[in-house]
Amino acid sequence: MSADLPPDQPPEPTGDPSADGPPRGHVAAIVMAAGKGTRLRSDTAKVLHPVAGRSLLHHVLGVLAPLGLGRIVVVVGHQADDVAAHARDSGLDNVVTVVQQPQHGTGHAVEVGLSAIDAADKVLVVNGDAPLLTAATLARLADQPVGTSAILSTELDDPTGYGRIVRDADGAVLGVVEERDCTEEERAIRSVNGGMYVFDHDGLADRVAAIGTDNEQGERYVTDLVGLLVAERREVRVVTAPAVELTGVNDRAQLARAGQALRRRHLDEMMASGVTVMDPEATWIDVTVDVEPDATILPGCLLTGATHVAAGAVVGPHTELHDTEVAAGARVRQSVCDTVAIGPDAQVGPFAHLRPGTELGPHGKVGAFAETKNATIGARSKVPHLSYVGDATLGEDVNFSCGAVTVNYDGFDKHHTTVEDGAFVGCDTMLVAPVTVGTGAFVAAGSTVTEDVPPGALAIARARQTVKEGWADQRRAEHDAD
């Protein structure tokens, strides 16, 4: 299903169902992830496209994870090796993959998936491109009693384009009718097929094998299973979910809208837990990001990857954090940080760039227009502004002044600089690595240091100043005469 839904209307939080309900080890799942996604116009397989910090496939596997299912079978096809490897990278030890090749429709995908399921009472069939599903909704679908099947459905004011769930006068399901085959009366039905199901495992393989190909595409559709079950007088139930949860992704616009909805859902959950988000509409936080209560996120922030923001920290405005740890009480503003650890009560910015491998200690500071890379900066040490610290270790209580640079690259290799506790590096200083500035040493402004500075020493590495009295006046007079 690919309902075109407003991104500003996420479903209400439904909670984690894993602690409630019956054990679900008897339920297996088939995740249909074989499609190419032609309308995405991409060389990347559809389910590998990222949205809000995870791939489409990992979003779906993520909501299956807390259900405590038995085997989860991912049916792959297009770019089978890549998708299979990605499925195995989900971290779930009950995931296996099978290849659907060639691809003859959703019914055929279920048949291929069943080949990897031995023991199960129920089989859950889930689309791999539905990132807005919640675990609570899938739990309600999975928890149907043995002997019954169910369709996941929603109600749409405008059901155009979707298969209708047809029922009798008593509300019993008679079948699923695709729109092109609907009568005028059936077109008025607002209950639509969400494309996900639960079936009894017993006899399912035989029923799937009986699905025909008498349709425009010449494919075997899983929807035909509903008609076969009804013909056997078996009960088929309908499990209703919010329309937004059943939204699939078929093109770039739907991918973007899914991302908006996922991020807004995540923001709402964070704010409910006690996080201050000053302007949710101007804040982008992926679902992989963890922000503790009493942290504050100001407008214009982009937080991605495994970023963690601790209680009392303030991030923003206009700050980008990726895979970054921000400790309690830290302040990061108008800066870019990538794979960085920022210590308690430290300050970053404005307009700083902290690159991978930077560790900023408690009460430390990296200020305006400073850049760091692969650098450890100790407690209370300061890199105030307009400086570069790369491949370096700064101890505690170091002052690394304006315009100072660690010269770490010789054209072939990177070299390390060490500035020990309490040292002072003056403005516009070049520390040519490998070099060490000892504990409590001073380096005079404007120096180019190529040799180690002993502890407690003063290093002056610059030409002695020469003053030529009257030179400027004479030069000016000569110029005027010319």
Question: Rounded to a whole number, what is the largest CA-CA distance in the chain?
Answer: 113
Cβ neighbors of 253 (< 8 A, separation 6 or more) are none
**The residue type at 279:** D
**The residue type at 374:** N
DSSP label at 440? T
Coil/strand/helix, residue 286: coil
For residue 307, the cross-strand partners are none
Cβ neighbors of 372 (< 8 A, separation 6 or more) are 352, 353, 354, 355, 358, 360, 366, 383, 388, 389, 390
Q: Which of 59, 322, 353, 385 is catalytic?
A: 385
Can 415 be counted among the known catalytic residues?
no
Q: What is the CA radius of gyration of the chain?
A: 31
Query: Whole-angstrom Cα distance, residue 153 to residue 243?
Result: 8
Give the HSE-up count for residue 340: Cα atoms under 13 Å, Cβ half-sphere: 31
Query: Whole-angstrom Cα distance, residue 267 to residue 303?
Result: 11
Residue 224: closest CA among 66, 106, 320: 106
**DSSP string spanning 385-436?**
ES-EEEEEEE-TT-EE-TT-EEE-B-SS-B--EEE-TT-EE-TT-EEESSEE
For residue 240, the cross-strand partners are 153
Please check whether residue 175 is in contact with residue 227, taking contact to mean a CB–CB distance below 8 angstroms: yes
Residue 305: closest CA among 285, 276, 319, 330: 285
The residues that are catalytic are 385
